[in-house]
Amino acid sequence: NAGVMQNPRHLVRRRGQEARLRCSPMKGHSHVYWYRQLPEEGLKFMVYLQKENIIDESGMPKERFSAEFPKEGPSILRIQQVVRGDSAAYFCASSPDTVRELFFGEGSRLTVL
């Protein structure tokens, strides 16, 4: 059973460009969570999605950030018009329906030049 797959592992963007980060949850998992880890800091919750629904986006910045988890395909975290402060590691995690344990991917490291 493959783990949570994230890609790209590393992404470099210039200020003003768009970043798209993808996450394929573990097989059988329908809950996806995105977290951001800034240098020297812990993980901050961003958004929680189930298939085709955003359940909790209380940690998402109000502008430039969006997330989706379509019926088919991976979950996407999209950052428009990136700024240097968006440079961070973005982690995706998934869980099965009723268990609270999260399984994490290896992260996507975004660098904004």
Partner 1 sequence: GNSVTQMEGPVTLSEEAFLTINCTYTATGYPSLFWYVQYPGEGLQLLLKATKADDKGSNKGFEATYRKETTSFHLEKGSVQVSDSAVYFCALSDQGGKLIFGQGTELSVKP
Given the complex with partner 1, which of 47 and 82 has the nearer CB atom? 47
* By CB under 8 A, residue 100 contacts partner 1: yes
Binding mask 48-87 for partner 1 (x = CB under 8 A): x------xx-------------------------------
* By CB under 8 A, residue 102 contacts partner 1: yes
From the CB of residue 111, how many other CB atoms can be counted at a distance below 10 Å? Answer: 14
CA dihedral 37→42→44→49, nearest 10 degrees, is 80
- Cα separation values, 42 from 2, 53, 73, 108, Å: 26, 26, 29, 15
Which residues of this protein are in contact with partner 1, per CB under 8 A? 4, 31, 33, 35, 41-45, 48, 55-56, 91, 93, 95, 100-107
